[in-house]
Amino acid sequence: MSATAFSSICFDRGCSWKVEKISKLRKRNEGKQFVTCSMKSGNNTSQNTVRIGVLGASGYTGAEVLRLLANHPQFRVTLMTADRKAGQPIASVFPHLITQDLPDLIAVKDANFSDVEAVFCCLPHGTTQEIIKGLPQHLKIVDLSADFRLRDISEYAEWYGQPHSAPDLQKEAVYGLTEIAREEIKTARLVANPGCYPTSIQLPLVPLIKANLIEPRNVIIDAKSGVSGAGRSAKENLLYTEVAEGINSYGITRHRHVPEIEQGLSDAARSKVTVSFTPHLIPMIRGMQSTIYVEMASGVRIEDLYEQLKQSYENEEFVVLLENGAIPRTHSIRGTNYCLINVFPDRITGRAIIVSVIDNLVKGASGQAVQNLNVMMGFPENSGLNYQPLFP
């Protein structure tokens, strides 16, 4: 990250990154090939170009992938599917993408994958397993649905209401929380991109649980998401008059991200972890905040939590630990792949409060998907992701 970009993200009381962190990030990228970024015509080719397919391009996560890839130096979109919009240009579905030179949308059954090297699968939960099962073996795949996130296929059936139709592929899938599973992602063919809530929750909690600094029991999570997290389908409860000027909880005790959160935290603790998780819908378009209440292990101080998070993420570009006392705000990450976190002492002795914010459509979905495919392809992780927050 450049010093200019660094100062841009730290406009509100500053983050705890120092010049030495920027130097370490630069050092980590030494020897990697960077290509000058430019808008790409559909006919441009180069020896470094990777031809990309986007399945389910008419949804919000598909559109966000297209927006991010418009500035990617190596990835070029050559195939886009959207069964209900087949035959239409992308501008008729998403007018904000009218300037992009992209192929017309086609039905997935008509897609020819012989000229594609990697795909982003942005299809709804429950439909992806059959589609991916039929894709050619040469493809690198990042799946943004929940269909391959849960290792236990019986748990998938319990929470998603249908049997898993690709159990063999499930064994192959790598859970793609990039900062935690980078080495496994490098050699993966199929990556299950994490959900938005699990991303915002696991990034701060996994390092603290692994270091035995917090008790895995009695974790309470109060999370809030913008309306785009519910997708683009027309639903009565998502009408403007139903959402505006109010807030509501949903999925109490039964939100489908619960087993995904508990799977990741249980891996970190090496024992079964059960959390109390309540999500809320907020009348904003994008953004997510998770406020997490934890019990510190015996003898642990709030400074120990802060230091562990600092050590865990000091070399990470997209996870930012703010200065002591600075409160993460969703305005500060809008449209970006950043996760801002901080930790605070609770008024109750021995407890701490962790606040984590992300853009649910970027770090919580499409941005992390691009980051994962960059890792899979051996490109710099920040390729196509050097967007600064849209503010105000």
Known catalytic residues? 196
Secondary structure element (H or E) that encloses residue 302, with its range: helix 302-313
What's the rounded Cα separation, in Å, for the pair 202 and 60? 23
Q: For 154-223, give the DSSP string.
A: HHHHHHHSS--S-HHHHHH-EE--HHHHHHHHHT-SEEEPPPHHHHHHHHHHHHHHHTT-B-SSSEEEEE
Q: Give residues with Cβ within 8 angstroms of 221, minimum separation 6.
A: 201, 261, 275, 276, 277, 278, 290, 291, 292, 293
Strand partners, 5: none
Ranges of beta strands (E only) in 4-74 are: 50-55
Q: C-alpha angle with apex 74: 73 to 78, nearest 5 degrees?
A: 115
Rounded alpha-carbon distances, angstroms, from residue 376 to 137, 142, 318: 15, 9, 17
Q: Which of 152, 295, 148, 267 is nearest to 207 (CA)?
A: 267
Residue type, 168: D
Supply φ then ψ for residue 7, to 5 degrees: -70, -30
User: At CB < 8 A and 24+ separation, what contacts does 83-86 make?
Assistant: 83/107, 83/108, 83/109, 84/58, 85/58, 86/110
